[in-house]
Amino acid sequence: MSAPEEKIYDLIVVGAGMIGSAAAHHASQIPNTTVCLVGPPEPKVRKGQDIFGCWFDEGRLCYQINRNKIWCNLGAKSLARFRDLEKLTGVKFYTESGYAYVTLDKSTLENLMEVNQKCGFEAQDITNSWKNIFPFLHLPDNASVVWQSVNGGHIIPRKLVTAHQTAAQMCDAQILHKIVSTVLPSKCDTHKWDVVTECGSVLQGHRVLVAAGGFAALKPLFHHVAPQMVPDLELRTQTISYLCISAEEAQRLK
Ligand X SMILES: Cc1cc2nc3c(=O)[nH]c(=O)nc-3n(C[C@H](O)[C@H](O)[C@H](O)COP(=O)(O)OP(=O)(O)OC[C@H]3O[C@@H](n4cnc5c(N)ncnc54)[C@H](O)[C@@H]3O)c2cc1C
Q: Is 19 in the site for ligand X (CB under 6 A)?
A: yes
User: DSSP per residue over 101-125, as a string?
Assistant: EEES-HHHHHHHHHHHHHHT---EE
User: Smallest distance, Å, CB 252 to ligand X?
Assistant: 22
Out of 17, 152, 153, 205, which residue is the one contacting ligand X (CB under 6 A)? 17
Q: Which residues inside 164-203 make contact with ligand X, applying CB under 6 A?
A: 179-180
Q: Is 205 in the site for ligand X (CB under 6 A)?
A: no
Out of 163, 219, 222, 224, which residue is the one contacting ligand X (CB under 6 A)? 219
Residue 128: name the closest of 112, 109, 106, 143 by CA: 143
Contact map string, positions 111 to 140, toward ligand X, x by CB under 6 A: ------------------------------
User: What phi, psi does 9 have (nearest 5°)?
Assistant: -90, 150
User: Smallest distance, Å, CB 132 to ligand X?
Assistant: 27
User: Smallest distance, Å, CB 254 to ligand X?
Assistant: 19
User: Smallest distance, Å, CB 179 to ligand X?
Assistant: 4
Out of 13, 35, 55, 152, which residue is the one contacting ligand X (CB under 6 A)? 55
**Cβ atoms within 10 Å, residue 105:** 10
Give residue number: closest CB to ligand X.
17
Residue 99: name the closest of 147, 155, 138 by CA: 147
Q: Is 18 in the site for ligand X (CB under 6 A)?
A: yes
Out of 33, 102, 213, 233, which residue is the one contacting ligand X (CB under 6 A)? 213
Question: Which amino acid appears at position 47 of this protein?
Answer: K
Strand ranges inside the chain, DSSP E: 8-14, 35-38, 60-63, 94-95, 99-103, 124-125, 144-148, 152-155, 174-176, 180-185, 193-197, 202-210
Site residues (CB under 6 A) for ligand X?
14-20, 38-40, 51, 53-55, 60-61, 179-180, 211-215, 219, 240
